[in-house]
Chain A
């Protein structure tokens, strides 16, 4: 730092395109396709992998970097803003799709070296998305029956 400009052109486009959509009730039907999934407490993922784990190689949304993701459940969305998250084989969480007020901006921080002669390293900050919906699971896990 000490000062970095925030490039918010993508967040702006997001607001513009949202105005065109009349009935934006579906969850991740946004141009950037981002939302928030909120669980009370901590989501514990396995630290050691074994053959039963279902893995997925994913490219990051804003770079070619490939990262490994692990399956931790199935998300079921119903039309009436209800959501169920099945975790593993024995637990399910019941939740709802809610609006976030105030909406949350998603900031992406990246350090890069400028190509000028000074080669000053500077940080680049981009607001890539505005998220206004989240799926919240407030209750304790229930058994799958």
Chain B
């Protein structure tokens, strides 16, 4: 038995906080494999995240009614030096990029520079953007490419879809004309070819832009690149779908248009798969039809659960589960089984081997 005098600071040291360590975070601390950062979504935000190199966790203050004293033992005395009514709790989340202020680049460098001169506030570098976004570095790298993110003269930009299509088509033609290997593409070599062959384009295309496009349509994120034909096919499919946001189109006709939008130099030497399943999350079938589709931009849908479901049922009364799921998956924050999640807001019915979602 041991008895120790017990003290407490008259004014507790408020510079400490307790944080619940998840097994994942303990592993990081033990192996020292990754950095750990705490980020605020914005300067005035209390929304905090903790990031490792590859994962993002929401930090939430969990309050309790007990007094927790952080104590130390010193010269056979116990001293409580900080007091807590809460601890920080970690919840795994999907990192976000704060790209609302990032300018769009459509391939016209002189106009872009004019715009920048008028509006200095939009010029931040990609490194600054990473610091300002509640997201881990690894997630950022992937998500940034999905967003068509690139960098021009140290300024983070988002490339317009039309410009991406332009570069992609150019890239395909260069690869084929120069007999390059789709599975082993050297960024610098391709850039050199563009510099020599396409003088009038070169001032609008930087090596960073070319790298963004190569990353976007490759199986890997590092030079040399290995082209992923499925990603190319999907891109042309989405771009074709965007033409049908007001008028619908029959699936067969759409697939023909899709195929013909892919450069024929590519379709003549490679078998490029055209399958509507690849475009799930970008289209919906109009009510009462099994073969007419329209484009749907999921970012245009309401962020609130009830309104999102309502908006989707206004577009189509009866959805196939697999066509419905991509439009609501981001709302399922607790990672419930997808049908259990949908059942909270809609009707789920089995019809043969299909699952049909309809409004209640």
A interface residue numbers (CB < 8 A to B): 1-6, 8-9, 11-12, 15-16, 28, 32-43, 45, 49, 54, 56, 58, 60-61, 67-79, 85, 102-110, 125, 127, 130-131, 134
Contacts and interface: CB of A to CB of B under 8 A. Distances in A.
A39 B67 contact: yes
B15 A109 contact: yes
A40 B68 CA distance: 9
A72 B9 CA distance: 10
Contacts of B120: none
Given A70-B10, A71-B6, A85-B6, A11 B81 contact: no
Contacts of A71: 5-7
B4 interface: yes
Interface in B1-58: 1-11, 13, 15-23, 25-26, 29-30, 32, 35-43, 45, 50
A35 B70 CA distance: 6
Contacts of A70: 7-8, 10
Contacts of B40: 1-3
Nearest to B36: A6
B74 interface: yes
A79 B80 contact: no
Nearest to A82: B1
Query: Chain B CB within 10 Å — which of A1, A58, A103, A127 has the most?
Result: A1
B71 interface: yes
**Smallest CB-CB A-B distances: 8 pairs:** A69-B7, A6-B36, A28-B73, A3-B131, A2-B40, A3-B39, A37-B69, A1-B40
A102 B5 contact: no
B65 interface: yes
Nearest to B19: A105
B78 interface: yes
A101 to B, nearest CB: 10
Interface string B62-101: 0001111111111001111101000110000000000000
13 contacts: A3-B37, A6-B38, A6-B50, A12-B32, A16-B30, A35-B70, A37-B78, A75-B3, A76-B3, A105-B21, A106-B16, A107-B18, A130-B21
Given A3-B37, A5-B36, A72-B8, A41 B65 contact: yes
Interface residues of B, number: 57
Interface of B: 1-11, 13, 15-23, 25-26, 29-30, 32, 35-43, 45, 50, 65-74, 77-81, 83, 87-88, 131-132
A73 B10 CA distance: 14
Nearest to B28: A8
A33 B3 contact: no
A80 to B, nearest CB: 10
A64 B73 CA distance: 17
Given A69-B79, A103-B21, A106-B18, 6 more contacts: A3-B38, A28-B73, A39-B69, A76-B2, A78-B1, A109-B17
Best-buried of B6, B20, B23, B77 by chain A (most CB within 10 Å): B6
Contact of A1 (B5, B17, B26, B43): B43
A3 B41 CA distance: 9
Contacts of B41: 2
B11 A104 contact: no
B71 A35 contact: yes
Nearest to A138: B66
A36 B87 CA distance: 12
A34 B71 contact: yes
A33 B72 contact: yes
A125 B38 CA distance: 8
Nearest to A110: B15
